[in-house]
């Protein structure tokens, strides 16, 4: 059942450096500012605690326990800090992502979601690794040091039902369709597009996922670093309505983007243009779990 409440979100486009402690402080400062602005859900960018490069992922990786009670500042500094911040400001936090050291000793790119009591509501491990080669522009291979997650992540909160993907996951419409089929009101994508694909595809993909699933889509990037200082993030953290309109966005500097998600609009758009009822499920559909979801 979808909700009709209004939810204020804060998309914290913060900068990251090679100093993990400083990155965590930057994130907590942004959370404090967003909470003071009465945001219900506060979201951070992909890889907020680490430089976005394959060599750094294993170095910055932390274990993520199943519950907040198991967190310690020494062992899990990033997750501990976000849990404390969620509790202190009594807010839902979508914790961007951090490199996670799994129990299998592999490294994942993982988003942890916290409730207002600081509890861990769920975590998403990036399912589609960013391995691309655009000749003369950008080559990146997350799979050199990261492993992919295998689960679709849907989190039910009293505010709304959230779907979480991470950056390159945005390019795979099937994942968003599964989250929509599970009843999500809003999809959140911590992400760090780059200066080649960012201007070409970032907004287009966000609007496409919002339009084809008729739900809100929010994406949070890191701020762009100094030229020549490693991976250059596109920035442009953005919220898109179920009608496909950009309702809030920014450039590439540090900023907090605020948007009010009027969740009742999902149902209005779905009633006006009832594509999900008009799908030709007799002719096409997803294989595997998608079949179970009735897509
Ligand atoms: N961090 C990422 O997954 C980057 C994805 C990206 O830039 C793209 O074009 O896709």
- Residue 104, domain CATH: 3.60.110.10
Residue with tokens 């597009």: 193
Distance 10 CA to ligand 1 centre (A): 21
Distance of alpha carbon 184 from alpha carbon 2, whole angstroms: 7
CA 161 to chain centre: 14
Q: Would residue 167 show up in a list of annotated catalytic residues for this protein?
A: yes
Distance of alpha carbon 206 from alpha carbon 167, whole angstroms: 10
Contact status, residue 63 vs residue 100, Cβ threshold 8 Å: yes
Residue 15 lies in a domain: yes
Give, for ligand 1, the residue of 124, 149, 192, 203 to mutate: max count of ligand atoms closer than 8 Å to Cβ: 192
Q: ipTM of this predicted complex?
A: 0.99
Distance 94 CA to ligand 1 centre (A): 19
pLDDT of residue 294: 60
Query: Which residue ranges of the chain lie beneath pLDDT 50?
Result: none
pLDDT of residue 286: 72
Residue 243 lies in a domain: yes
How many folded domains does the chain comprise? 1
Q: Does the beta carbon of 80 sit less than 6 angstroms from any atom of ligand 1?
A: no
Contact status, residue 21 vs residue 49, Cβ threshold 8 Å: no
Q: Report residue 210: phi and psi, to 5°.
A: -65, -45
Q: Residue 114's CB: how many other CB atoms inside 10 A?
A: 24
- Beta-carbon contacts of residue 115 (< 8 Å; ≥ 6 apart): 86, 92, 121, 157
**Would you state the torsion angle of the CA atoms of residues 71, 75, 79, 83, taken in this order, to the nearest 10 degrees?**
40
pLDDT of residue 41: 98
- Could you identify the atom of ligand 1 that is nearest to the CA of residue 205? 10
Q: Does the beta carbon of 109 sit less than 6 angstroms from any atom of ligand 1?
A: no
Residue 1 lies in a domain: no
pLDDT of residue 291: 54
Set 12, 100, 123, 126: catalytic member: 126
Residue 19 lies in a domain: yes
Q: Residue 260's CB: how many other CB atoms inside 10 A?
A: 14
Residue 246 lies in a domain: yes
pLDDT of residue 226: 80
pLDDT of residue 225: 87
pLDDT of residue 288: 54
pLDDT digits (tens, 9 = 90+) for 220-255: 999 998 887 789 999 999 999 999 999 999 999 999
pLDDT of residue 229: 77
Kindly report the protein residue whose alpha carbon is nearest to atom 4 of ligand 1.
193
Kindly report the protein residue whose alpha carbon is nearest to atom 9 of ligand 1.
197
Q: Would residue 75 show up in a list of annotated catalytic residues for this protein?
A: no
User: Which residues face 10 on adjacent strands?
Assistant: 42, 258
pLDDT of residue 110: 98
Q: Does the beta carbon of 167 sit less than 6 angstroms from any atom of ligand 1?
A: yes
pLDDT of residue 211: 97
pLDDT of residue 25: 98
Residue 120 lies in a domain: yes
pLDDT of residue 20: 97
pLDDT of residue 287: 62
Q: What helix, strand, coil percent values describe the chain, rounded to 5?
A: 30, 25, 45
Q: Would residue 47 show up in a list of annotated catalytic residues for this protein?
A: no
Distance of alpha carbon 156 from alpha carbon 184, whole angstroms: 8
pLDDT digits (tens, 9 = 90+) for 78-103: 999 999 999 999 999 999 999 999 99
Domain with 250 in it: 6-292
112, burial (CB in 10 Å: exposed 0-12, middle 13-18, buried 19+): buried
């Amino acid at each position: 059942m979808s909700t009709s409440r209004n939810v204020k979100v804060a998309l914290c486009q913060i900068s990251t450096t090679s100093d993990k402690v400083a990155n965590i402080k930057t994130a907590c400062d942004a959370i404090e500012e967003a909470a003071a602005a009465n945001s219900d859900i506060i979201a951070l960018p992909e890889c907020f605690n680490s430089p976005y490069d394959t060599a750094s992922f294993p170095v910055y990786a932390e274990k993520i326990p199943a519950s907040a009670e198991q967190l310690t500042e020494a062992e899990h500094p990033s997750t501990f800090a976000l849990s404390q911040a969620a509790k202190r400001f009594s807010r839902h936090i979508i914790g961007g992502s951090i490199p996670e050291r799994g129990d299998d000793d592999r490294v994942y790119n993982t988003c942890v979601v916290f409730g207002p009591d600081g509890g861990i509501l769920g975590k998403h491990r990036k399912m589609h690794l960013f391995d691309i080669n655009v000749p003369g522009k950008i080559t990146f291979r997350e799979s050199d040091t990261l492993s992919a997650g295998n689960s679709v992540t849907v989190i039910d909160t009293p505010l709304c039902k959230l779907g979480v993907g991470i950056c390159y996951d945005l390019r795979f419409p099937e994942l968003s369709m599964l989250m929509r089929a599970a009843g999500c009101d809003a999809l959140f994508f911590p992400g760090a597009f780059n200066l080649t694909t960012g201007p070409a595809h970032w907004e287009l993909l966000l609007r496409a996922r919002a339009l084809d699933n008729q739900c809100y889509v929010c994406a949070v990037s890191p701020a762009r670093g100094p030229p020549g200082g490693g991976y250059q993030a596109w920035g442009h953290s953005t919220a898109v309505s179920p009608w496909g309109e950009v309702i809030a966005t920014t450039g590439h500097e540090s900023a907090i983007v605020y948007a009010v998600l009027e969740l009742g609009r999902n149902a209005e758009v779905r009633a006006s243009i009832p594509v999900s009822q008009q799908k030709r499920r007799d002719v096409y559909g997803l294989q595997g779990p998608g079949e179970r979801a009735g897509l």
